[in-house]
Amino acid sequence: MKINRMLKFPVAVSASLILLFASTAGARAQELADKEELYTGKEYHSAFANPKDDPSLPNVLIIGDSISIGYTVDVRKKLSGKADVFRIPTNGKYAAHGLEKLEQWLGQRQWDVIHFNWGLWDVCYRHPMSKAQGHRDKVNGTLTASPEEYRQTLEKIVERLIETKAKLIWCATTPVPEFEVGRNVGDEIKYNRIAESIMKKNHIAINDLHAHALQRLPEIQIKKGDVHFTKPGYAFLAEQVAREIASALDSLDDMSDE
């Protein structure tokens, strides 16, 4: 028995070292992202122009990356008069960044619904010698967040979001198309499954935006090999997002009537 216990120790140490190495490598990958990937320039100003606070309306917070930036304005329009739709003041990037900034983004406002996502940045590989935007390189690059890192971080985020008492909606990560230079097709599905298991365990609603987007791919892709969408494409995504948020708002009304 003593021998078995001794054998377990180096195995545990090795596992810890592997996770530490992955975390360090992932941190280096995170630093290689370009400003152009943030999609926070003047042309996207309207997405960050949060509404004036109407005390009579419920407060909705959208957390996410550039995909969410793309659909925010249309979601606001569709929920006009039903809710004040805010979004975080920047690109949510990857899950570890979200965890770091979460308190700042939540602020002091009482949120009724929070619609959130991380994923596309997490599954991205980057290499300093790559000439692609953000040094993306799925052949020679380093993965931003391993599946286990993603799981652990998302669990911590969910734990904090539950404390807000808001109605939570997890938004599945949208598809990685063929010919994407920094992401492998199908990795987003693996990470969506990880997220799905966490959400189901915590009884959190899931907005399957991945399946919704697939209905019209590649038609709504902005260009070949790009994870982003055309303007009509973002409007199509907004239909689904607004529908899920409206459903969450309706459930809050039903609870208040009881």
pLDDT tens column, 38-93: 888 888 999 999 999 999 999 999 999 999 999 999 999 999 999 999 999 999 99
Q: How many domains does the chain have?
A: 1
Full-model pTM: 0.88
Task: Read off the amino acid at residue 60.
Answer: V
Q: Check pLDDT > 50 for residue 153.
A: yes
24 — pLDDT class (breaks 50, 70, 90)? low
List pLDDT tens digits, range 102-141.
Answer: 999 999 999 999 999 999 999 999 999 999 999 999 999 9
Residue with the larger pLDDT of the pair 243 and 28: 243
Task: Read off the amino acid at residue 57.
Answer: L
Q: What is the CATH number of the domain that holds 123?
A: 3.40.50.1110
pLDDT in the model for residue 13: 47
Residue-range definition of the domain harbouring residue 117: 2-257
